[in-house]
């Protein structure tokens, strides 16, 4: 029963993440007036990075009961590398590479992948 609850929470997390991303695109950013343009890019990137993070969390919640400890470790590393990868892309795009955040997150990815 504990594993089923975890998997249901994972599916719910994925549904919430998809709704967050779609509503952000169709309701929030379609109407938002954010100036200057770099601030609009940054708010957009942060919004969608949270969508990716929640998707990743949902995948982990759903999958962990199905996996051995070593497989869970690999999946956790790969999912979080993808989540941080979205952060790298969003930060570099929004700030046009002028902020150190994307480099720090890229460092997290490299080190985490070394843990595979």
Please report which confidence band the pLDDT of residue 106 belongs to, taking 50, 70 and 90 as the band edges. Answer: very high
When divided into structural domains, the chain yields a total of 1
Full residue range of the structural domain in which residue 18 is found = 2-114
What is the CB neighbour count within 10 angstroms for residue 59? 20
pLDDT per residue over 75-94, tens digit each?
Answer: 988 998 999 999 899 889 98
Please report which confidence band the pLDDT of residue 58 belongs to, taking 50, 70 and 90 as the band edges. Answer: confident
Give me the pLDDT at residue 103, please. Answer: 92
pTM of the model: 0.74
Cα angle for residues 15, 2, 62 (degrees, 5° grid): 35
Give me the pLDDT at residue 44, please. Answer: 87
pLDDT of 2 > 90? The answer is no
**Contacting residues for 103 by C-beta, under 8 A, at least 6 apart:** none
Please report which confidence band the pLDDT of residue 64 belongs to, taking 50, 70 and 90 as the band edges. Answer: confident
Share of the chain above pLDDT 90, in %: 21
Give me the pLDDT at residue 22, please. Answer: 93
**Contacting residues for 29 by C-beta, under 8 A, at least 6 apart:** 44, 47
């Amino acid at each position: 029963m504990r594993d089923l609850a975890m998997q249901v929470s994972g599916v719910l997390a994925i549904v919430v993440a998809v709704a967050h991303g779609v509503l952000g695109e169709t309701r929030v950013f379609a109407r938002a007036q954010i100036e200057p343009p770099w601030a609009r890019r940054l708010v957009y990137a942060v919004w969608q990075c949270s969508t990716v993070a929640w998707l990743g969390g949902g995948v982990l919640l759903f999958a962990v009961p199905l996996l051995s400890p070593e497989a869970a470790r690999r999946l956790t590393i790969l999912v979080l590398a993808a989540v941080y990868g979205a952060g790298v892309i969003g930060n570099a795009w929004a700030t046009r590479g002028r902020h150190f955040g994307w480099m720090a997150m890229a460092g997290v990815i490299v080190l985490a992948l070394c843990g595979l």
